[in-house]
Amino acid sequence: MSFTQRVRVLCWSLVCLAAVAHADQTLTPVPGRPLAPDFALQDTEGEQHRLTDYRGRPVLINFWATWCPPCREEIPSMNRAWKKIAAAGIVMLAINVGEDEDTIFVFTADYPADFPVLLDRDGEIIGQWPVKGLPTTYIVDPEGRIAYRAIGGREWDDEQLLDALRALQK
Amino acid sequence: MGVILKLMLCTALLPSLATAAVVRSADEETGLVKWHFSAGALELELVQRLPDQTRGFFLARGFSGDVADEIATSCVFQTIVRNRVEAGAGEAVAIDLGQWRRVHDGNQGGIRLKEAWIATWPEDRVSQPARLAFRWATFPTVQEFLPGDYNWGMTAYGLPPGAVFDLNVVWRQGGQMQDDWIRGIECPADVDSLK
């Protein structure tokens, strides 16, 4: 297959996925707000992040991979959202599943991510969360409970979504 | 029973008993075909993945050539499932791919589930990172979709490139089992047949 054909095939696949998989700009409340499974993971800068260290702040946790088209599509909006919420003390953690620093380094050259990108190399952490597909995002409230989930991609800089995060601070 | 009451009952049942609509379309440039199925709250899309495309994906994730080729030539579709009811309203939709049946040349068979693939790979044949990529790139065998939820991933039908089959789609909506057919699905042909 020629390079042009490969690009066409990829574009067609992405268009199909985007057309059907575009999700509403909504968050699904998680009944009973179960306690979020704790984790301690290193980010791509070598810094350790433990979920319980962020008690008292809302935390957005996004499970993703570089090869996942909807993940790629939502990363730019996550970066824009991060610029809006970081100063307010809201935490954003993107947990990459199964890939190494080199792969992510190459990826972030095209898709800049200023928020922490954590490495779940062996998939141990994602296995402890009720994730069925990528991307999946959870919003953890300041008490460490899962308040919302979003299956599939979102435009994370949408004010409606950010307001839901901000509301958890009150 | 009054006519109005009958009409009201029929209307109430419509979302869960709706007849499936299937639309087949092809991309003019690539020739790749997709099937869009909708019934009740369920929306399903099957998009052909060329064997070369799938082969390349799994080779890049650390699979050996023979295993990547085995997957790539087993009739793989990018599969997207969505509960098309607006978030916060309506019923959940649940699917179990183990209940789906395909009919090819009069023979009935099931989807090749991810658990079946993984079970055939000895530890030394497929690395852990490759297994992990396979697990997350393929569609979950069982999943419940609340209104607005969607998921995507590959499904494999265990047929050779170019084979044509009918697929019996089974799902549960609001506690009621339902099924319908997508006829004449074409497994993606291998590289030579690409436009």
Domain span at residue A157?
Answer: 24-167
Q: Is residue B87 less than 8 Å (CB to CB) from chain A?
A: yes
Smallest CA–CA distance from B52 into chain A, residue: A1
Answer yes or no: is A12 within a domain.
no
Q: What pLDDT, on the 0 to 100 scale, is given for residue B96?
A: 98
Residue B193 has pLDDT above 60, yes or no: no
Q: What pLDDT, on the 0 to 100 scale, is given for residue B58?
A: 96
Answer yes or no: is A61 within a domain.
yes
Q: What pLDDT, on the 0 to 100 scale, is given for residue A24?
A: 63
- Mean pLDDT, to the nearest integer, of B103-115? 96
Tally of domains in chain A: 1
Q: Residue B94, Cβ neighbours under 10 Å: how many?
A: 18
Please give the share of chain B, as a percent, with pLDDT higher than 90.
73
Looking at per-residue pLDDT, the higher value among B18 and A119 belongs to A119
Domain span at residue B150?
Answer: 21-193
Strands B107-110 and B101-104 turn out to be antiparallel
Answer yes or no: is B2 within a domain.
no
Within its chain, how far is the Cα of B175 from the centroid? 21
- Mean pLDDT, to the nearest integer, of B7-17? 47
Answer yes or no: is A67 within a domain.
yes
Tally of domains in chain B: 1
Q: What pLDDT, on the 0 to 100 scale, is given for residue B123?
A: 81
Spell out which residues of chain A touch residue B139, defining contact as CB-CB under 8 Å. Answer: 133
Place of tokens 């009935």: B108
Q: Which of B151, B194, B187, B5 is nearest to A132 (CA)?
A: B151
* Mean residue pLDDT across chain B: 89
Within its chain, how far is the Cα of A29 from the centroid? 17
Please give the share of chain B, as a percent, with pLDDT higher than 70.
87
Q: Which of B132, B140, B151 sits opposite A97 (nearest CB)?
A: B132
State whether A13 and B135 contact (CB < 8 Å): no
Answer yes or no: is A119 within a domain.
yes
* Residues forming beta bridges with residue A117, ordered by sequence position: A94
From CA B33, how far away is CA B115, in angstroms rounded?
A: 27
Smallest CA–CA distance from A16 into chain B, residue: B47
Query: Which residues, including other chains, have CB under 8 Å from residue A80's CB and lie 6 or more apart?
Result: A156, A157
Q: What pLDDT, on the 0 to 100 scale, is given for residue B28?
A: 85
State whether B153 and A133 contact (CB < 8 Å): yes
Q: What pLDDT, on the 0 to 100 scale, is given for residue B19?
A: 81
pLDDT averaged per 10 residues, chain A (length 170): 55 49 73 97 98 98 94 96 97 96 95 97 96 95 97 92 93
Q: What pLDDT, on the 0 to 100 scale, is given for residue B124?
A: 83
Spell out which residues of chain B touch residue A8, defining contact as CB-CB under 8 Å. Answer: 27, 29-30
Q: Is residue B148 less than 8 Å (CB to CB) from chain A?
A: yes
Query: B12 — phi, psi (to 5°)?
Result: -65, -30
Report the range of poorest mean pLDDT among A2-11, A136-145, B62-71, B155-164: A2-11
Strands A136-140 and B76-83 turn out to be unpaired
Query: Which residues, including other chains, have CB under 8 Å from residue B195's CB and lie 6 or more apart?
Result: B29, B30, B31
Residue B14 has pLDDT above 50, yes or no: no
Q: Which of B78, B86, B140 sits opposite A16 (nearest CB)?
A: B78
Q: At B194, is the pLDDT very low, low, confident or very high (cuts 50, 70, 90)? A: very low
Residue B101 near residue B109 (C-beta atoms within 8 A): yes
Smallest CA–CA distance from B57 into chain A, residue: A67
Spell out which residues of chain B touch residue A97, defining contact as CB-CB under 8 Å. Answer: 132, 136
Residue B90 has pLDDT above 90, yes or no: no
Q: Is residue B123 less than 8 Å (CB to CB) from chain A?
A: no
Q: pTM of the predicted model, to two decimals?
A: 0.83
Q: Report the CATH number at residue A82.
A: 3.40.30.10
Angle at B143 between CA B182 and CA A125, to 5 degrees: 140
Closest chain B C-alpha to A70 CA, distance in angstroms:
9
Give tens-digit pLDDT for B24-53: 999 888 889 999 999 999 999 999 999 999
Q: Is residue B88 less than 8 Å (CB to CB) from chain A?
A: yes
Extract the runs of DSSP E, i.e. beta strands, from A19-64: 28-29, 40-42, 48-50, 59-64
Q: What pLDDT, on the 0 to 100 scale, is given for residue B169?
A: 98
